[in-house]
Amino acid sequence: MAEGEIQWLVAGLGNPGAEYERTPHNLGFLAVDRLAERHGIRISRKEAMALVGQGRVQGVTVLLAKPQTFMNLSGSSVNGLLVKAGLKPERLILLYDDLDLPWTSLRVRPSGSAGGHKGVRDVIRAVGSDEFPRVRMGIHGGRREGDGARIVLSQFGRAQEKDLDEVVDRAAAAVESIIADGVEMSMTRFNRRAGGLQEEEE
């Protein structure tokens, strides 16, 4: 690829608006913000229904994005950004929260189903593929019983706020690792087994 040409789209899923800012469902946004902070990238331009910023991560040009369409309609924004940058779906790294993983845990995957996540499902539908790397950040880990929407849209508790810095830092580091060393190496490095959790849930 030519120097300066975008090589990766890194998109975090979340909901726009101050009322959603400190909720588990916005971990994707928070992790992309941390990545931007670590690499001096300003996410402020509006493009394809997203806030975006372009810069260098691990020596390659990336586009960081936070779709502003609301979580469950994220696909058209992500696909629009891929098309505009001339990238195939496999050059997308998607960051999002996962109800089936314990809080503070993280999983890097090379591909896979949406696992019940409506935002991810919409991205897969829009880009026409599930063959893209993703970084899943655990927010609960209990069985998917009761009101999942209440869990993902509740404000972070005091204990969660204490862990939040480390959670988004690790997610940002996982993206850096995927870009620098590939998905397989990153899985080995970041997919630590959480207590009582099977190594592969799907």
pLDDT tens readout for residues 164-173: 999 999 999 9
Instruction: Judge whether 29 lies within some domain.
Output: yes
Look at the chain and report how many structural domains it folds into: 1
| Nearest alpha carbon to residue 134 among 86, 101, 85, 166 | 101
Q: Is residue 145 part of a domain?
A: yes
Determine if the pTM surpasses 0.85: yes
Q: Does any domain span residue 89? A: yes
pLDDT at 27 over 80: yes
CATH of the domain at 79: 3.40.50.1470
Residue 144 and residue 19: Cα distance in Å, rounded? 24
Residue numbers annotated as active site? 25
**Within a domain: residue 202?**
no
Q: What integer pLDDT is reported at residue 74 of this predicted model?
A: 98
The residue range of the domain holding 36 is: 8-190
β-strand pairing of 45-47 with 8-12: unpaired
